[in-house]
Amino acid sequence: MIALLGASGTVGRHVLQAFDGEIRTGSRSSGVDINDDRSLAEFVAGASVVVNCVGPSHQTAARIAAAAVNAGADHVDAGGADAVVDPRGRRVVFAAGASPGLSGLLPRWLAPKGSTLTMYCGVLDRFTAAGAEDYLNGVNEPLAAWRSGQVKHGALTRLSDVDIPFFEAPVAAFPFMDAENEAVARSLSLVDGSWYSVIEGRHLRRALAERKGLCEASALDLAGRSPRVTFVSELDGRTAVLRAGSVAELTAAVTVAATKAVLRGDVPIGQHRAATVLEPFEGLDITVFDAPLSELVVEEGVL
The set of residues, in sequence order, having a beta carbon less than 8 Å from that of 209 and lying 6+ positions away, is none
Q: Which of 206, 199, 196 is nearest to 155 (CA)?
A: 196
How distant, in Å, are the alpha carbons of 71, 96, 251, 252 from that of 6?
19, 15, 13, 12
Contact 155, 147 (CB under 8 A): yes
HSE of 50, CA atoms in CB hemisphere, 13 A: 31
In this prediction the pTM is 0.94
Does the structure show a pLDDT above 60 at 301? Answer: no
Give me the percent of the chain exceeding a pLDDT of 90. Answer: 91
CA 283, CA 109: separation in Å to the nearest integer?
A: 13
Q: Which bin fits 240, alpha (ψ -120 to 50), beta or left (φ > 0)?
A: beta
| Type of residue numbered 80 | G
Question: What is the tens place of the pLDDT at every residue in 209-262?
Answer: 999 999 999 999 999 999 999 999 999 999 999 999 999 999 999 999 999 999
Does the structure show a pLDDT above 80 at 302? Answer: no
Q: Which of 64, 68, 29, 19 is nearest to 47 (CA)?
A: 68
Query: pLDDT grade, residue 303 (50/70/90)?
Result: very low
Residue 264 CB burial class (10 angstroms; 0-12, 13-18, ≥19): exposed
Q: Is the dihedral of CA 42, 43, 48, 54 positive or negative?
A: negative
Helix then strand then coil, in percent of the chain rounded to 5, is: 35, 30, 40
In the chain, the domains with their CATH numbers are 2-96+250-277 (3.40.50.720), 102-247+283-295 (3.30.360)
Residue 191 CB burial class (10 angstroms; 0-12, 13-18, ≥19): middle
The separation between the first and the last C-alpha atoms of the chain, rounded to the nearest angstrom, is 40
Query: pLDDT grade, residue 298 (50/70/90)?
Result: low
CA 251, CA 164: separation in Å to the nearest integer?
A: 24
DSSP string, 123-188: EESPPPHHHHHHHHH--EEET-EEETTEEETT----EEEE--TTS-SSEEEEEEEEHHHHHHHHHT
Q: Which bin fits 230, alpha (ψ -120 to 50), beta or left (φ > 0)?
A: beta
CA 3, CA 281: separation in Å to the nearest integer?
A: 23
Question: What is the tens place of the pLDDT at every residue in 150-185?
Answer: 999 999 999 999 999 999 878 999 999 999 999 999
